[in-house]
């Protein structure tokens, strides 16, 4: 057991100021809301805060095709009409629109995950957090599902320089298809995705039968779920499978994608998960019923399980393995709940319980009138029967039994971190405007906690 985890947290306010367009469900502004909620609970005082570097095109091309990266670099809203064939080729359009500062947005969120991986590799921290990352749908040569650059794949490639085996866990409501596809033929990365599957739900992949191929056979694990899964069912399945995965695979490091669209009430989701345990009024009502019928002792274990079963409990459970851990965001389209969720999970990673009443902050109006962290579980009918869950669990565990032992790899000399050129101050043109990010190259800043993040979406009604 480590005495005290050292945690690095990556944030750049610019990543939350981009705008996907009217009526688009992706709201990067949720990242500003999350950050200010983290500040309001004073969690920043327990972490090292860093502004990530902007990933260079050559860094992005460690996974993505060079022509795709180059096109993202030069396309703008004003010029996109000139490239209809390229837009179709790279799947840019309605779901993945071209917007102002698109490439910089990609550079920042990818840079955060790459930086997080490098700090873990060098033992500078035990846990690294990049809530802006987790865009798991992007493919090698195309955008997909609101994702342009797959920062998770880039981060895992960094981790593979130092670790023989990397475990990737995904609790987004959508299948982590881009990450799975990238490592489908290798045993050096095991991907485990818990997601909604069926009914033409995006992206349409993630059947339990998709298990990897060639050297990667049995190293892709999919846990397909139906509408309405609740805290208790999800956590019981998650803990059983992840415990067996870690025991069998023996990873050197874990990457955890915490997509918040698996929460109850998400605009694009269909699960019933709470953020961190059952909603207090529900527990009070249950206790009253138990007392009324004299069942308090009999049902106490069940009540305690319900109290701790949640989205955040997955984070808590993974943290207990005491392995180097890279945590990212992902989906999440009810932005006030996304901010609540990732703030609670920042607290979990810091072993800090947070008061349910949200402190005053720049975005307090978004959390009104409740002004509380916890949200009620959902009321969508749970179509995941005990029989269905048992069948899925047995299939997954059977596939794990096909892995005789943790795969080994002949480690070579560790390749260096990608070369990042320094700027020579003597060569800078004093009349040329230097952008904010260049000024912030010394990433740990005294004025990191600033006001004024723009909510360029606050005047628009969510649809």
Q: Point out the annotated binding site for a divalent metal cation.
A: 172, 174, 261
In 3D space, the residue among 196, 149, 145 whose CA is nearest the CA of residue 171 turns out to be 196
- Dihedral (CA of 311, 316, 318, 323) sign: positive
Residues 77 and 55: their CA atoms lie apart, in Å, by: 22
Whether the ω angle into residue 257 lies within 30 degrees of 0, i.e. cis, is no
Tell me how far CA of residue 447 lies from CA of 83, 129, 132, in angstroms.
41, 20, 20
Write the burial class of residue 455 (CB in 10 Å: 0-12 exposed, 13-18 middle, 19+ buried).
middle
Q: Do residues 110 and 64 make contact, with C-beta atoms less than 8 angstroms apart?
A: no
Residues 6+ apart with CB under 8 A from 131: 11, 31, 34, 35, 328, 329, 342
Phi and psi at residue 458, in whole multiples of 5°?
-70, -20
Candidates 137, 163, 175, 195; catalytic one: 137
User: Which residues define the annotated binding site?
Assistant: 95, 145, 172, 174, 261, 333
What does the alpha-carbon distance between residue 296 and residue 288 come to, in Å, rounded to a whole number? 9
Report the alpha-carbon distance of residue 449 to residue 422 in Å, rounded: 26
**35 is known as an active-site residue:** no
Six-digit token string for 156? 């895992």
Q: Comparing C-alpha atoms, which of 169, 185, 187 is closest to residue 237?
A: 169
Looking only at the bridges linking them, the beta strands covering 253-257 and 220-225 are unpaired
Q: Which residues are catalytic?
A: 137
């Amino acid at each position: 057991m480590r005495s005290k985890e050292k945690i690095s947290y990556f944030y750049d306010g610019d990543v939350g100021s981009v705008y996907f367009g009217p009526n688009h469900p992706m709201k990067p502004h949720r990242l500003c809301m999350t950050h200010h909620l983290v500040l309001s609970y004073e969690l920043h005082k327990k972490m090292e805060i860093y502004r990530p570097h902007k990933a260079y095109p050559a860094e992005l091309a460690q996974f993505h095709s060079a022509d795709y990266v180059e096109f993202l670099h030069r396309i703008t809203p004003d010029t996109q009409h000139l490239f209809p064939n390229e837009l179709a080729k790279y799947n840019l359009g309605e779901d993945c629109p071209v917007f102002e500062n698109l490439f910089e947005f990609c550079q920042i969120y990818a840079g955060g995950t790459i930086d997080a991986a490098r700090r873990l590799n060098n033992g500078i921290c035990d846990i690294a957090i990049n809530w802006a990352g987790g865009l798991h749908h992007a493919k090698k040569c195309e955008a997909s599902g609101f994702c342009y650059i797959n920062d998770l794949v880039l981060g895992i490639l960094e981790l593979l320089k130092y670790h023989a085996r990397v475990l990737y866990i995904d609790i987004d409501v959508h299948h982590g298809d881009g990450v799975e596809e990238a490592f489908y033929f290798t045993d050096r990365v095991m991907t485990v995705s818990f997601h909604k599957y069926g009914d033409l739900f995006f992206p349409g992949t993630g059947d339990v039968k998709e298990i990897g191929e060639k050297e990667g056979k049995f190293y892709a694990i999919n846990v397909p779920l139906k509408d309405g899964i609740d805290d208790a069912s999800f956590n019981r399945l998650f803990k059983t499978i992840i415990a067996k995965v870690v025991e069998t695979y023996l990873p050197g490091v874990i990457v955890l994608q915490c997509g918040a669209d698996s929460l109850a009430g998400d605009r694009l989701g269909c699960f019933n998960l709470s953020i961190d345990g059952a909603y207090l009024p529900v527990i009070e009502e249950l206790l009253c019923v138990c007392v009324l019928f004299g069942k308090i002792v009999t049902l106490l274990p069940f009540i305690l399980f319900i109290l701790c079963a949640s989205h955040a409990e997955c984070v808590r459970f993974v943290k207990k393995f005491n392995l180097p851990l890279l945590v990212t965001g992902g989906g999440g389209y009810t932005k006030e709940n996304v901010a609540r969720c990732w703030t609670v999970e920042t607290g979990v990673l810091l072993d800090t319980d947070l008061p349910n009443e949200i402190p005053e902050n720049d975005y307090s109006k978004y959390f009104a009138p409740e002004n509380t962290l916890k949200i009620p579980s959902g009321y969508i009918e749970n179509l995941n029967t005990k029989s269905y869950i048992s069948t899925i669990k047995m299939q997954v565990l059977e596939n794990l039994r096909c892995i005789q032992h943790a795969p080994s790899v002949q480690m070579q000399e560790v390749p260096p971190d990608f070369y990042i050129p320094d700027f020579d101050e003597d060569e800078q043109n004093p009349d040329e405007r230097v952008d904010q990010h260049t000024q912030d190259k010394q990433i740990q800043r005294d004025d990191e906690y600033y006001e004024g993040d723009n909510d360029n979406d606050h005047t628009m009604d969510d649809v």
